[in-house]
Amino acid sequence: MRTPRWLVAAFALALAGAAQADNPQFSGADPHALFIGDSLWVFPTGGPGGSWAADRFGAFSSRDLRHWQPRGELIRRDQIGWIQNDGAPVHFLWAPAIAVRRGRYYLYYSVGPQNPTPSRIGVAVADRPEGPYRDAGRPLVADGGHGFEAIDPMVFVDRRSGKAYLYAGGSAGAKLRVWELGADMTSIAREIPVATPPNFTEGAFLHAQGGTYYLSYSHGRWNGPDYSVHYATARSPTGPWTYRGAILTGDARHQGPGHHSFVRTPSGRWLIVYHRWERPPGPAPYAGERQVAIDRVRYAADGRILPIRMTDGAAAPRLPLH
């Protein structure tokens, strides 16, 4: 099999040694980020150099948010045995998310497109963050349709209760659904009815801070100027939600910021990892490659997330962040 462009570019980046990145960090979209030790790991759709064949996932890590190390191939489409069972002519892998529990790593991902058959969500398991990941053998969510599109999974493990919750949905139906996962993290224990918050389109992400649960998500068309990040808060991981407004929107130099993740640094500071278009305002649809960027998150005294300012070049945050 021909080596994909993104993997060639990623290894070239690592071998160069002196290669450095500031905002934007690298080409890619839908980045899920978490700290493993003192390194920030980013799991995107695509990666350095672009990979819009969407037939595999990779990962990248950095100790300073300037030098990025490729972590290789996590899983390929042809390693997912059930993917052809719906009879659709083509399939793509999008929007990875990682959860960690009891020393194991769980990779959740979207299999699309929605038409001619409903999209699905799968899960694979590994003993190390870089894999290799082994697919669970069946889709985790396969009941699309009726106003729901099974995309953009995200798993939150609640420290208070020990329960793990799967959040997913969006785009055409713009409907959010939440499930409690089984103890094995690869099965559904039950669905929890939740309200879809205002201005929800896709890309739900949940994090907790100071006793408050923050549900953030993307609003608007993925390749247009209205794509942005909004959020709502609750006293539990499943709502009810109180809508708080937009916190990340386009500006004079960047458009369509979204499909993000929040991540807490070892020093206790918060970052947002997201994708954006490097261009001034203009009509949709945008074309080319989206870029992964990282910026600081700050909270007001009352717990509100303050508007996030997008940065360029060396103004991007570095690790360690104090």
Please provide the average confidence, as pLDDT, over all residues in the chain. 91
Which amino acid, 276?
Answer: R
Question: 101-136 burial string, b = 16+ CB within 10 Å, else e?
Answer: eeeebbbbbbbbbbeebbbbbbbbbbeebbbebebb
Which of 13, 35, 37 has its CA nearest to residue 25? 13
Query: What is the C-alpha to C-alpha distance for residues 126 and 264, in angstroms, rounded to an integer?
Result: 23
Question: What does DSSP assign to residue 135?
Answer: E
CA distance 20 to 112: 34
Name the token pair of 158: 């609640």
Whether 7 has a pLDDT exceeding 90, the answer reads: no
pLDDT in tens, 185-242: 999 999 999 999 999 999 999 999 999 999 999 999 999 999 999 999 999 999 999 9
Backbone angles phi, psi at 187, to 5 degrees: -140, 160
Looking at the DSSP bridge assignments, the partners of residue 70 are 60
DSSP assignment of 161-221 equals T--EEEEE--TTT---EEEEEPTTSSSEEEEE--PPPTT--EEEEEEEETTEEEEEEEES-
* Under 8 Å between Cβ of 55 and 76: yes
Q: 217 forms bridges with which residues in the sheet? A: 230
Examine the pLDDT at 49 and tell me if it is beyond 70: no
- The 10s digit of each residue's pLDDT in 118-174 is 999 999 999 999 999 999 999 999 976 677 899 999 999 999 999 999 999 998 778
CATH superfamily of this structure's domain 5-297:
Glycosyl hydrolase domain; family 43 (2.115.10.20)
Q: Are strands 242-248 and 228-234 parallel, antiparallel or unpaired?
A: antiparallel
